[in-house]
């Protein structure tokens, strides 16, 4: 997990303990998906708001990813600043420093993190769609796991 998310093993351990304490993980370390979705949609914008900053080169995020651009069209481009990025746009501080690298390594994770950033940005129409897509993706993973 640490390698895939570009975090140290200690950071993963601390995060798992915090998630258990906040009841986002149960005692068996199973993700409480409904609680996680509710936290992401309703709590994350208050804990980790996104305040677009300077223009930077980076990796697209938020409503700038193709998944959401299909719905909203071309608007402001938001990026996580990264030297290996190919887009210019308003810089969004990622949730943690390894986000750009993790997103480049895993396209599905990139989309999930971009949905989270869309929620962090707080524009109502976009937040609503991002919340619905996040809910669908995270809860459908749960249903597939239960059917296996």
Summarize pLDDT for 56-82 with one digit per residue, the tens. 999 999 999 988 887 877 788 999 999
Q: How far apart are CA 44 and CA 40, in angstroms?
A: 5
Q: What is the pLDDT of residue 146?
A: 45
Q: Please count the structural domains in the chain.
A: 1
User: How much is the pTM?
Assistant: 0.84
β-bridge mates for residue 80, sequence order? 59
Q: What is the pLDDT of residue 43?
A: 92
Summarize pLDDT for 10-61 with one digit per residue, the tens. 888 888 888 888 888 888 788 889 999 999 999 999 999 999 999 999 999 9
Range of the domain at 70: 2-147
């Amino acid at each position: 997990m640490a390698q895939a998310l570009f975090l140290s093993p200690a950071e993963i351990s601390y995060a798992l303990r915090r998630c258990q304490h906040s009841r986002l993980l149960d005692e068996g370390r199973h993700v409480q998906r409904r609680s996680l979705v509710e936290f992401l949609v309703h709590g994350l914008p208050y804990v980790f708001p996104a305040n677009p900053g300077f223009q930077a080169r980076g990796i697209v995020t938020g409503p700038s990813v193709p998944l959401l651009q299909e719905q909203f069209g071309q608007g402001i481009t938001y990026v996580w600043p990264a030297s290996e990025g190919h887009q210019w746009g308003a810089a969004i501080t990622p949730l943690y420093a390894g986000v750009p690298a993790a997103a480049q390594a895993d396209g599905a994770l990139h989309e999930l993190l971009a949905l989270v950033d869309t929620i962090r940005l707080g524009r109502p129409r976009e937040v609503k769609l991002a919340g619905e897509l996040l809910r669908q993706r995270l809860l459908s993973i749960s249903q597939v796991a239960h059917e296996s």
